[in-house]
Amino acid sequence: MKSPKVYFVDTGLLCYLVGLRDAEHAASGPMGGAIFENLVVADLFKTFTHRGEEPALYYWRTAAGSEVDVVIETQDKLIPIEIKQSETPRPEMAREIVNFQRDFEDKAGQGYVIHPGKMTLPLGNGVITLPLAKL
């Protein structure tokens, strides 16, 4: 990418700075998806930091425009994660993860679609949904 993505560690501060004063307004507005993505990335960052680990979190995008919101680098696998604000996950939400897994073959691990709903279910080969509450 030409320029990196920027995330706020404090999603509440992010909402305040853009003028959003309540959760419903933040979630339903035009920035809802970006705010939810920021929340998930900040939580992942904090989780690794609190474990005393250096967060190895990346954003993946190809020249053709295929992208995965977060890739976690572990010692032996790359874990692709898509972040979707929809509470009802659908198989097409896993499309970019499948592209990533195809491109990285043996190095790619299980993929996840993180969402605000309550369901954990398979979306296809090597991809499952994960509610934010279980992150």
pLDDT tens digits, one per residue of 77-111? 999 999 999 989 899 999 999 999 999 999 999 99
Q: Are strands 57-61 and 67-73 parallel, antiparallel or unpaired?
A: antiparallel
Q: How far apart are CA 28 and CA 77, in angstroms?
A: 35
Which tokens hold the place of 24? 């419903």
pTM of the model: 0.89
Instruction: Identify residue 64 by its one-letter amino acid code.
Output: A
pLDDT tens digits, one per residue of 24-60? 877 787 888 999 999 999 999 999 999 999 999 999 9
CATH classification number, 11-134, choose in 3.20.20.70, 3.30.160.620, 3.40.91.50, 3.90.1300.10: 3.40.91.50
pLDDT tens digits, one per residue of 1-16? 556 788 888 888 888 8
Strand-pairing partners, residue 122, are: 128
Q: Are 14 and 35 spatial neighbours (Cβ–Cβ below 8 Å)?
A: yes
Place of tokens 């073959």: 105
Q: How far apart are CA 18 and CA 88, in angstroms?
A: 27
